[in-house]
Chain A
Amino acid sequence: MAVPLTVVDDSRISRKMVIRALPPGWDVEITQAENGEEALTAYRAGKADVMFLDLTMPVMDGYEVLEHLQKESLNTFVVVISADIQPEAQERVKKLGAMAFIKKPVKTENIVAVLEEYGLI
């Protein structure tokens, strides 16, 4: 069965880059969200078993999404995909419950490595 995946990024081109970098053959049903609020809406609609989450976004940023998910004990596999490559940013998101961090521009091999590590493919 296809895995419900939500790709969250305010930039259309960036969502496109992430979607194009998904490993071929990974059976997913993709939902796109432009900000954190839309991401949480997608999650509540059952469309985000896996979430690829950008950090810097208007309306609600990635950190806030993680805080919401943590506070409400929501269960989704979050991979943060961000241009903010400071080691502390990676530590922070992991403390907030993100499973992995991938830097932009995103490459297929980086996504594969994360999915393989957690047995998702």
Chain B
Amino acid sequence: MSVQPYNEDQTDALQEVANIAMGQAGDSLARILDNFVTLSVPRIRQIAIHELVDTVTTMVGDEEEVSAVRQAFYNSLRGEAIVIFTQSGADELAELLGYDCELDAAIEQELLLEVGNLLVGAILSGISETLGTEVGFSAPSLMAERTPLYQVLAPDQLSWQHALLVEVNFSVEKHRFKSHLLMFMTEETIETLRSILDEFMDDF
């Protein structure tokens, strides 16, 4: 079954929800880093699974190995969120937090889990608070470390057909780190979110 893409208004509304959410994530990150964080406008795209590897590769660059953190969400919206960090992004992040480049593997994992959790938590709370719906989420787990992207996003790794891709950019002073947040959802959830967005816009 094919799913209609979100229309311009629905996408715009979702982007604004992401913007508010990233504002909260940025504030939390600034407190962790004890430094001012510059946020860019998050971009949202709806993609089908068969386009996923190509789309994300174009954004991330195909040279790079990536690490990924996954987290399930449930209640009125069901699916799984995956945050992808490039190795250079993870290194920048570590440097920002005051670690030397030679990172202990355990510290690096902890770092990725923490920041992944922050981003996913922010976006899910943003959706639930702004749109007035209930979303719960599980603890994050590490899905891949220093792995080529196509392996992380291999179709047999994923049980979903549809995804929303949110590109998130943070920078702190001269450090810049980019991460990509993918929200995989069931068809039913895509439709539930569509009606929530429509209802939200009807309020205006």
Q: A residues touching B (Cβ–Cβ < 8 Å)?
A: 10-14, 16-17, 20, 56-58, 82-86, 88-89, 103-105
Indicate if the CB atoms of B19 and A56 lie closer than 8 Å: yes
A-B pairs with lowest CB-CB distance, top 9: A83-B23, A83-B20, A11-B16, A13-B13, A88-B36, A16-B204, A14-B16, A86-B30, A84-B23
Which one of A11, A13, A58 contacts B204 once the chains associate, using CB atoms below 8 Å? A13
Which one of A17, A58, A84, A105 contacts B26 once the chains associate, using CB atoms below 8 Å? A84
Indicate if the CB atoms of B16 and A86 lie closer than 8 Å: no
B12 within 8 A of A: yes
Give the CA-CA distance A20 to B203 in the complex, in Å: 9
Give the CA-CA distance A14 to B130 in the complex, in Å: 12
Q: Which of B37-45, B46-54, B71-79, B104-112 contacts A (4 or more CB under 8 A)?
A: B37-45
Chain B residues near A57 (CB-CB < 8 A): 41
Interface magnitude class on chain B = 20 to 34
Chain A residues near B20 (CB-CB < 8 A): 83, 104-105
- Digit string of B9-38 for contact with A (CB within 8 Å is 1, else 0)? 100110110011111101100100000110
B 175-204 contacts with A by CB, 8 A: 201, 203-204
Chain A residues near B39 (CB-CB < 8 A): 56, 83-84
Residue of A nearest to B31 (CB): A86
Indicate if the CB atoms of B23 and A17 lie closer than 8 Å: no
Chain B residues near A88 (CB-CB < 8 A): 30, 36
Most chain B CB atoms below 10 A, which of A10, A83, A104 = A83
What would 27 A/B residue contacts be, using CB atoms closer than 8 Å? A10-B41, A11-B12, A11-B19, A12-B9, A13-B16, A14-B16, A14-B19, A16-B201, A17-B204, A20-B204, A56-B19, A56-B39, A56-B41, A83-B22, A83-B23, A84-B23, A85-B23, A85-B24, A86-B26, A86-B30, A88-B30, A89-B36, A103-B23, A104-B19, A104-B23, A105-B20, A105-B130
Residue of A nearest to B36 (CB): A88
Indicate if the CB atoms of B15 and A11 lie closer than 8 Å: yes
Residue of B nearest to A55 (CB): B39
Indicate if the CB atoms of A82 and B23 lie closer than 8 Å: yes
Indicate if the CB atoms of A12 and B12 lie closer than 8 Å: yes
Indicate if the CB atoms of A13 and B9 lie closer than 8 Å: yes
Residue of A nearest to B24 (CB): A85
Give the CA-CA distance A65 to B27 in the complex, in Å: 22
Give the CA-CA distance A85 to B72 in the complex, in Å: 27
